[in-house]
């Protein structure tokens, strides 16, 4: 009993265009294949066999920022890397979202020194922060689901 | 410690002059900085230490003379020996000879020391910054360089810090 | 925020060949965001068609200032930073740092703690090699190996979580021993893992070792001779693939490695395939070491009873005034280490991981420097890559097993 059979009986589905767009944006989000440090390994774990992020329509990691909607900043952002992160963000097409994965990307973590940017939110706007050093893959998946929820509630007029 | 290593250390001291420091069973030979290239040649060719383990530096600021110690570790895989050498240097922009011509991997190691401590290596083929951005001012691991501590944001000082924290454009 | 550095041709004139200046060869930027540079490595390639004429690595995109930051913390508190350095070998980093502290202050470690350290370090080695195998196979377009390797890696991370409560950044090894004794389930969990893993390693081998596609991409690529490898300061599997059998565990045994019976596998070809074979072999040797260490695991305390440096057990704090004072002093002021410097090396999955530690008589390290194996192994990349195709460069970067956190620190 999939949606096809139901459609056969009903013939037509009505919903707001906004909901349809948000539903499709949330369920086929392409993250950028972009790891910085320790968290990148846990991000790989989340992609790999045990946790399998493709259950949420996210198996396709794009190496090019031009093809991705979601940037997972996995790891510490250094002063040398910060301009690069910003340029990658600028290259992504709208609509785009950012997850700050781990303590270093969220607030600098244990590193409070000359080299590390104290939170990637100084460089790019962040939608979801995931805590942990590094966060477990389940925590990352939770963060992604939280982002999906956020995307489902978005309004067109905010993007305009 | 083996007798062989002791004779090697004696030979280095006799040829180049200098002193020794001992701690935790390891003897470090302190050689004059200007002789370090000749010493590295002797260590590599005559004494048979074929593998350079590390090059690093220690900053003894505010002590002025010597302000820095450049530390080397050499290893002989065949003789199973490790030789520790140090070279003291002073001044704002100290200079000592590069040993890149003897040990290839000294190239990056010396670049890192230059980047972090501002110690110049004479005769190095490509002495640029390696870890910090090329336009960075100062040498971070010097003792007179601040750690760059940033105040953490708590609930009581949230607004105050938020006002000066850089925020990105959408 | 500083702007992106645009490199002018003048700055790199001495690094590229004459032909690049006339425009005969092409300069191509690879990274820092590139799927096959294993992190944030940036390479400037000079290409003649598809052939690499020159390769100039640019590192430092992950420079975290760990060495400087450790100088601002006490000896115990600085340890959490070492985990995050080489994030594939977290236990090994703690291990090296703790050995350096123990040598600096002259602290003995009980035999049970030594054996636990060895077991965990070898488990970490297997874990690191599994990730290496998965990603290196991914670089030469073998996708499924990645999924297989991460399956077994989860088992090791579960063991790490069992003993320390954290999957990756355990900080379980402490100066003078380990944090606390392993739980009772530890032995069963490790034995369960040891039962499975040999068959799984055979499985990986059956996918790659005789696969013609894999052989085409790896045999004869990125060769280096034994003399050059030593002169370039290579260590780990990258060195042993060329012939020398240098392994710190045999060269200068630490933490009781001399009691265990294991071999140092070597090859003479010095190419990408030889490095792959060595990684597989090293996993088998690690299994042997874990097996022996687990069989001989002695009973007894897991921390030194020198309370000047090691915090006393919690149970003693309630009854003994002295224990309370020691506890208080250690966690507020820290312990004072004598003036002097030591160098301690361990065999990390990538090669010789050394810690140069200097104390000044106070509770904070005066200077910490880590001799990172990936740092020296990456230096040789321009030499290995010269004359190969760009696609082979990806295989070479994969084979020398670099971790950018280790290089930049």
| Chain B residue set in contact with C, beta carbons under 8 Å | 21, 23-24, 26, 28, 50-54, 56, 58-59, 71, 73, 77, 80, 82, 84, 103-105, 107-109, 112, 116, 125-126, 128-135, 140-141, 145, 147-148, 166
CATH topology classification for B3-164: Beta Polymerase; domain 2 (3.30.460)
Residues of chain C with Cβ-Cβ distance to A65 below 8 Å are: 33
Q: What is the pLDDT of residues B111-130, one digit of tens each?
A: 999 999 999 998 888 888 88
DSSP-derived 3-state class of residue C81: helix
Does residue A130 sit within a domain?
yes
Cβ contacts of A124 on chain B, cutoff 8 Å: 168
Give percent above pLDDT 90 in chain A: 9
Whether B105 and C233 lie within 8 Å, measured CB to CB = yes
State the DSSP H helix or E strand holding residue C346, giving kind and residue range, or none if neither. Answer: strand C340-348
Q: Are B85 and B31 in contact (CB under 8 A)?
A: yes
Q: How far is A114 from chain B (nearest CA, A)?
A: 4
Please state the domain extents for chain C: 9-58, 66-305+335-408
DSSP C266-327: --SS-SHHHHHHHHHHHHHHHHHHHHHHHHT---S-SB---TTTSPPPHHHHTT-HHHHHHH
Closest residue to A114, CB basis, from B147, B168, B170 = B147
SS3 per-residue string spanning C169-229: CCCCEECCEECCCCCCHHHHHHHHHHHHHHHHHHHHHHHHCCCHHHHHHHCCCCCCCHHHH
What ipTM was predicted for this assembly? Answer: 0.90
Integer Rg of chain B from CA: 20
Least confident residue range of A20-34, C29-43, C52-66: C29-43
pTM metric for this prediction: 0.92
Quote the pLDDT of residue C290: 93
Does residue A4 fall inside a structural domain?
no
What pLDDT score was predicted for residue B17? Answer: 84
- Give the pLDDT score at A157: 79
B149: chain A residues, CB-CB within 8 Å: 112-113
- With helix as H, strand as E and coil as C, how does chain B read? CCHHHHHHHHHHHHHHCCEEEEECCEEEEECCHHHHHHHHHHHHHCCCCCEEEEEEEEECCCCCCCCEEEEEEEEECCCCEEEEEEEEECCCCCEEECCCCCCCCHHHHHHHHHHHHCCEEECCCCCCCCCCCCCCCCCCCCCCCCCCCCCCCCCCCHHHHHHHCCCCCC
CATH number at residue A54: 3.40.50.12280
Per cent of chain C over pLDDT 70 is 97
| Residue B170: pLDDT over 70 | no
Q: How confident is the model at residue A4 (pLDDT cuts 50, 70, 90)?
A: low
Cβ partners under 8 Å of residue C56, min gap 6: C12, C15, C16, C43, C44, C45, C46, C382
As beta bridge partners, residue B71 has B56, B86
Count interface pairs B-C at CB distance under 8 A. 109
pLDDT of residue C4: 61
Whether residue A22 lies inside any domain: the answer is no
pLDDT for res C314: 84
Pairing state of beta strands B68-76 and A70-74? unpaired
Give pLDDT tens digits for C378-408: 989 888 888 889 888 888 888 888 888 888 8
The count of structural domains within chain A is: 1
* Confidence (pLDDT) at C198: 92
CATH class of C66-305+335-408: mainly alpha
Is B56 in contact with C232 (Cβ distance < 8 A)?
no
CA distances to A78, B74, B84 from B28, rounded to whole Å, are 36, 11, 5
Which of C234, C246, C379 lies at the smallest CB-CB distance from B107? C379
pLDDT score of B1 = 58
Contacts of B107 (CB under 8 A, 6+ apart): B100, B124, B125, B126, C379
pLDDT of residue A154: 86
pLDDT digit string (tens) for B128-143? 888 888 888 888 888 8
Q: Strand C340-348's sheet: what is its strand order?
A: C340-348, C351-359, C367-371
Cα distances (Å, whole numbers) of residue A88 to A64, A85, C71, C96: 9, 5, 34, 37
Average pLDDT over residues A81-105: 89
Å from C185 to nearest chain B CA? Answer: 38
Asked if C157 and C170 touch (Cβ cutoff 8 Å), the reply is no
Q: Where are the domains of chain B?
A: 3-164
Q: Is residue A5 part of a domain?
A: no
The tens digit of pLDDT for each residue in C231-284 reads: 888 998 889 999 888 889 988 898 888 999 999 999 888 888 999 999 999 999
For position A75, what pLDDT does the model report? Answer: 86
C360, two tokens: 């000044």
Mean pLDDT in residue range C32-44: 79
- CB distance C401 to B93 below 8 Å: no
Q: Do A124 and B168 touch (CB under 8 A)?
A: yes
Q: Which two tokens stand for residue A40?
A: 């990148």
For Cα atoms C84, C140, C244, give the angle at the middle one, nearest 5 degrees.
65
Among C344, C347, C349, C400, smallest CA distance to C376 is for C400
Structural domain boundaries, residue A113: 30-151
């Amino acid at each position: 009993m999939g949606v096809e059979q139901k459609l056969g009986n009903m013939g037509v589905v009505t919903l707001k265009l906004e909901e349809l767009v948000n539903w499709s944006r949330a369920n086929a989000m392409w993250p950028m294949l972009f790891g910085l440090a320790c968290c990148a390994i846990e991000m790989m774990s989340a992609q790999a066999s045990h946790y399998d992020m493709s259950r949420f329509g996210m198996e396709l990691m794009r190496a090019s920022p031009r093809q991705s909607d979601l940037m997972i900043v996995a790891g510490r952002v250094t002063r040398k890397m910060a301009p690069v992160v910003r340029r990658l963000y600028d290259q992504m097409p709208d609509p785009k979202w950012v997850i700050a994965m781990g303590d270093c990307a969220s607030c600098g973590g244990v590193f409070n020194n000359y080299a590390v940017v104290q939170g990637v939110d100084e460089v790019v706007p962040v939608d979801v922060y995931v805590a942990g050093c590094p966060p477990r893959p389940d925590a990352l998946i939770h963060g992604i689901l939280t982002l999906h929820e956020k995307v489902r509630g978005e309004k067109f007029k905010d993007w305009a | 410690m083996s007798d062989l290593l002791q004779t090697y250390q004696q030979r280095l001291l006799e040829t180049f002059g200098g002193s020794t420091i001992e701690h935790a069973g390891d003897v470090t030979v302190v050689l004059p900085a200007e002789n370090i290239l000749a010493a590295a040649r002797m260590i590599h060719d005559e004494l048979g230490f074929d593998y350079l383990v590390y090059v690093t530096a220690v900053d003894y600021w505010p002590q002025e003379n010597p302000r820095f110690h450049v530390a080397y570790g050499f290893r002989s895989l065949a003789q199973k020996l490790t030789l520790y050498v140090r070279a003291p240097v002073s001044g704002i922009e100290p200079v000592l000879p590069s040993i890149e011509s003897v040990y290839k991997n000294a190239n990056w190691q010396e670049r890192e020391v230059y980047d972090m401590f501002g110690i110049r290596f004479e005769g190095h083929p490509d002495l640029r910054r390696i870890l910090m951005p090329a336009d960075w001012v100062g040498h971070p691991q010097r003792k007179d360089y601040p750690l760059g501590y940033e105040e953490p944001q708590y609930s009581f000082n949230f607004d105050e810090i938020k006002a000066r924290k850089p925020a990105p454009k959408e | 925020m500083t702007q992106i550095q645009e490199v002018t041709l003048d700055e790199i004139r001495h690094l590229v060949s004459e032909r690049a200046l006339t425009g005969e060869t092409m300069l191509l930027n690879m990274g820092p965001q590139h799927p096959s540079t294993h992190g944030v490595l940036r390479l400037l390639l000079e290409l003649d068609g598809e052939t690499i004429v020159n390769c100039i690595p640019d590192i430092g995109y992950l420079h975290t200032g760990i060495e400087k930051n450790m100088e601002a913390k006490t000896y115990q508190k600085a340890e959490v930073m070492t985990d995050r350095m080489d994030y594939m070998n977290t236990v090994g980093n703690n291990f090296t740092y703790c050995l350096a502290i123990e040598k600096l202050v002259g602290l003995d470690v009980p035999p049970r703690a030594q054996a636990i350290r060895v077991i965990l370090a070898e488990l970490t080695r297997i874990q690191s090699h599994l990730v290496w195998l998965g990603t290196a196979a991914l670089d030469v377009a073998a996708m499924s190996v990645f999924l297989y390797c991460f399956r077994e890696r989860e088992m090791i991370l579960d063991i790490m979580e069992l003993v320390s409560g954290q999957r990756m950044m355990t900080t379980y090894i402490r100066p003078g021993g380990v944090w606390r004794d392993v739980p009772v389930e530890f032995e069963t969990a490790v034995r369960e893992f040891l039962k499975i893993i040999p068959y799984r390693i055979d499985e990986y081998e059956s996918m790659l070792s005789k696969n013609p596609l894999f052989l085409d991409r790896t045999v004869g690529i990125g060769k280096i001779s034994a003399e050059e490898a030593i002169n370039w300061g290579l260590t780990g599997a990258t060195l042993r693939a060329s012939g020398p059998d240098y392994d710190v565990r045999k060269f200068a045994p630490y933490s009781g490695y001399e009691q265990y019976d294991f071999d140092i596998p070597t090859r003479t070809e010095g190419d990408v395939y030889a490095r792959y074979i060595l990684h597989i072999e090293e996993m088998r040797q690690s299994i042997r070491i874990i097996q022996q260490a687990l069989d001989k695991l002695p009973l007894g305390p897991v921390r030194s009873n020198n309370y000047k440096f090691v915090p006393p057990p919690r149970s003693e704090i309630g009854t003994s005034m002295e224990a309370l004072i020691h506890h208080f002093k250690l966690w507020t002021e820290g312990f004072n280490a004598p003036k002097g410097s030591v160098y301690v090396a361990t065999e990390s999955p990538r090669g010789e991981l050394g810690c140069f530690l200097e104390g000044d008589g106070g509770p904070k390290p005066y200077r910490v420097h880590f001799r990172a194996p990936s740092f020296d192994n990456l230096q040789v990349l321009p030499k290995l890559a010269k004359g190969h195709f760009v696609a082979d460069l990806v295989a070479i970067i994969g084979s020398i097993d670099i971790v950018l956190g280790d290089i930049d620190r």
